[in-house]
Chain A
Amino acid sequence: MSATYDVARVREDFPILQRRLAGDLPLVYLDSANTSQKPRQVVDAIDAHYLAHNANVARAMHQLGAEASEAFELGRTKVAGFIGASRREEVVFTKNASEAINLVARVLGDAGAVGPGDEIVISQMEHHSNIVPWQLLAERTGATLRWFGITPEGRLDLEDDPITERTKIVAVTWVSNMLGTINPVAEVVARAKAVGAYTLIDASQAVPQIPVDVAALGADFVAFTGHKMVGPTGIGVLHGRYDLLASLPPFLGGGEMIETVTMERSTFAPPPARFEAGTPPIAQSVGLGAAVDYLTALGMENVAAHEQAITAYALERLVEIDGLTVVGPKEAVDRGGAISFTLDGVHPHDVAQLLDSKGVAVRAGHHCAKPAHAHFGVQSTTRASFYLYTTEAEIDALVDSIWHTKKYFGA
């Protein structure tokens, strides 16, 4: 592990990691792919904003209003810098990643980007948030949905490429929240561009754990969510190429997204305001800005290296357990810190319940990726997911409690 990365030191920033649960057991939080914990720095920034600078943005002509507007826009600037956006106006705030993807599906549809006979390409390993909006768009427009499959190892099957001349939109995840796979998204974007299709990358699991440079990636749209990257809930990000955003119609109508309104019609503000109707997530922008500062101070290279090392350790320990099958890549190569598995003879709910009784918090179910589960012939899995504060001792606790679970159920 990186010499500059001190997990014990990092954990001091996360008071919740000191929590004791029922039976005075220490919390072992292995559900960060679901939502990450928040460092004191983020909570303090939100606190300070509400307690000292709170006002609505853009429309308040007083000093607090100016402070709040500046704080809100500073969050945007920080996020833009963090992901390498070429302009801060390319960062649109939404309420989460799901809304960001729905926004794109809606406005591309309204702009007439797809119609009957056209195809939209996704993959079988998408989160439902990157499946359902495209199914809805296909239904609205008469377009057809196609998808990349998954290889037996749990990688994107690039051999059987569904992208054709008919493809108008390609939307694929960067990192799978179920399999952990890190996909070669630059390659997918290049293939999509070769046929002139729009591209969206779901970076919800990528931005938290690997360095992301949207300008280098070159996708038209990149979506992610604040709460998985040590930021608050209630804020998501859509990054879009500025000229493209500027050519698209609005999403929701309301305050702040207009240029002028008469009773007959309205004209719309330039991006990003065009896509941000109503009072935006102000304190959340402040919190997300603090989250980005926090991650930057740790260094995303270091975060990624830690994630990789802890995932490698976990994979190594988990395969020792007989009856346990990892669903997804079994090597820590091009792999993020989420490991889904099955345990012979014990249903994932029961695994999660037993782990919880030992203070180990994991997720059980389909993880909003039912098609990926179906592909592997399983209805549900147990998922342990790691982050920048996860320790090897926590992995050991996980492994011990899985053995305990096996014994409990006689499996």
Chain B
Amino acid sequence: MTNSANSDAMNVDSLYQEIILDHYKHPHGAGLRDGGDAEVHHVNPTCGDEITLRVHLDGDVVRDVSYDAEGCSISQASASVMNELVVGHSVADGFATLDAFQALMQGKGQVEPDEDVLEDGIAFAGVAQFPARVKCALLSWMAFKDAATQATGAQAAGKDAS
């Protein structure tokens, strides 16, 4: 690695984009709301960041994702962006967005984000260069994946039974 790449990688401004700090200070959809089709609790064992998250479905559409998160700016902002990106879309679309976000996070800075898909999520491109923070950015998304999978599973089971 060249020196300039190295200092680039360590540039915190590329991590703490304005958009991320905005989401951190004014998170979208924060708080747990009543109801919901599945609730999960995820932790990041290395640092203790936690999230309790509920997925509220309407057929196969994600009507709401409510959550109570405790963690750093990256994990909080990521939960906010996740909420924005998946609410109002189908579960399948939500999972596709998740895949795109995960690819960006795990791409070591080599993946070019698609703004049409990720919208404000592209601001997290810089996180990929801070391996210790990737888990922070993925925490809420993994919780969403888990809860949405459980919720759709429960729905399917409910249909089978009826």
Interface residues of A (CB under 8 A from B): 21-23, 347-350, 353-354, 356-357, 364-366, 370, 373, 379-380, 408-409
Q: Enumerate chain B residues within 8 angstroms of A22, measured Cβ to Cβ.
A: 6-7, 9-10
- The reply to whether the CB of B70 lies closer than 8 angstroms to some CB of chain A is yes
Task: With both chains docked as a complex, state the minimum distance between the C-beta of A25 and any C-beta of chain B, in angstroms.
Answer: 9
Shortest Cβ distance from residue B94 to the other chain A in the assembled complex, whole angstroms: 26
CB distance from B8 to the nearest CB of A (A): 8
- Is there an interface contact between A353 and B15, defined as CB atoms closer than 8 Å? yes
Stretch at the interface among B34-42, B45-53, B56-64: B45-53
Question: B95 at the A/B interface (Cβ < 8 Å)?
Answer: no
B72 lies within 8 A of chain A by Cβ: yes
Are A353 and B133 within 8 A (Cβ)?
yes
Q: B17 to chain A: closest CB distance in Å?
A: 13
Q: Do residues A364 and B16 form an inter-chain contact, with CB atoms below 8 A? A: no
Assess whether B71 is in contact with A349, with CB atoms less than 8 Å apart: yes
B73 interfacial by beta-carbon distance below 8 Å: yes
Q: Is A23 a contact partner of B133 (Cβ separation < 8 A)?
A: no
Let me know if A379 and B70 touch, CB within 8 A: yes
Question: Top 4 nearest A-B pairs by Cβ distance?
Answer: A22-B10, A349-B72, A347-B72, A357-B12
Look across to chain B and name the residue whose beta carbon is closest to the beta carbon of A24: B7
A370–B7 CB distance below 8 A: no
* Minimum Cβ distance to chain A for residue B117 (Å): 27
Contact A380 to B47, CB < 8 A, known contacts A350-B73, A408-B16: yes
CB pairs A–B below 8 angstroms (21 shown): A23-B7, A23-B10, A347-B71, A347-B72, A347-B76, A348-B72, A349-B47, A349-B73, A349-B133, A349-B136, A356-B10, A357-B12, A365-B46, A365-B48, A370-B48, A379-B71, A380-B47, A380-B49, A408-B12, A409-B21, A409-B73
Q: Measured between alpha carbons, how far is A97 from B42 in the docked complex, in Å?
A: 29
Contact with A along B86-115 (1 / 0, CB 8 A): 000000000000000000000000000000
B74 close to A (CB within 8 Å):
yes
Least Cβ–Cβ distance between A353 and chain B, in angstroms? 6
Cβ 8 A contact of B47, one of A354, A365, A409? A365
Give the residues in chain A near B71, CB-CB below 8 Å.
347, 349, 379
Contact B47 A366 (CB under 8 A): yes
Bound-state Cα–Cα, A371 to B47, Å: 14
Return B125 CB to nearest CB of chain A, in Å: 16
Given contacts A353-B130, A380-B48, A408-B12, 10 further A-B contacts (CB under 8 A): A349-B49, A349-B72, A353-B15, A357-B10, A365-B48, A366-B48, A370-B48, A379-B48, A380-B47, A408-B16
**What residue in chain B is nearest A363 (Cβ atoms)?**
B47
A356 CA / B130 CA spacing, docked (Å): 11
Contacts of B73 in A (CB 8 A): 347, 349-350, 409
Complex Cα distance A265/B50, Å? Answer: 50
In the docked arrangement, what's the CA distance between A365 and B7, Å? 25
A365 to B44, CA, bound (A): 10
Provide the bound-state CA to CA distance between A265 and B100, in Å.
58
**Chain B, Cβ-Cβ closest to A373:** B48
Contact pattern, B 1-36, Cβ under 8 Å of A = 1, otherwise 0: 000001101111001100001000000000000000
Q: Which residue of A lies closest to B15 (CB)?
A: A353
Q: Which residue of B lies closest to A345 (CB)?
A: B25
Complex Cα distance A349/B12, Å? 12
CA distance A366 to B45 in the complex (A): 9
Q: How far is the CA of A354 from the CA of B15 in the complex (A)?
A: 10
Enumerate chain A residues within 8 angstroms of B47, measured Cβ to Cβ: 349, 364-366, 380
Shortest CB-to-CB span from A344 to chain B, Å, is: 14
A23 CA to B8 CA, complexed, in Å: 9
Q: Which residues of B contact A366 (CB under 8 A)?
A: 47-48
Do B12 and A354 have beta carbons less than 8 Å apart? yes
Shortest distance from the beta carbon of B77 to any chain A beta carbon, whole Å: 11
Residues of B within 8 A of A357 (CB): 10-12
Contacts of B74 in A (CB 8 A): 349-350
In the assembled complex, how far is the CB of residue B45 from the closest CB belonging to chain A, in whole angstroms?
9
Residues of B within 8 A of A379 (CB): 48-50, 70-71
Shortest CB-to-CB span from A54 to chain B, Å, is: 33
Q: Which of A21, A373, A380 has the most CB of B within 10 A?
A: A380
**Residue on A nearest B12 in the bound complex, by CB:** A357
Q: How far is the CA of A354 from the CA of B7 in the complex (A)?
A: 14
Q: What chain A residues lie within 8 Å of B46 (beta carbons)?
A: 365
Q: Mark B127-142, 1 if CB is under 8 A from A, else 0.
A: 0001001001000000
Closest to B8 in A: A22
Which A residues lie within 8 Å of B11 (CB)? Answer: 357
A381 to chain B, nearest CB (A): 10
Residues of chain A contacted by B133 (CB below 8 angstroms): 349, 353
Q: Of residues B21, B49, B72, B73, which shows the largest number of chain A Cβ atoms within 10 Å of its Cβ?
A: B72
Of A21, A350, A373, the contact of B10 (CB 8 Å cutoff): A21
Cα A286 to Cα B152 in complex, Å, equals 59
Closest to A346 in B: B73
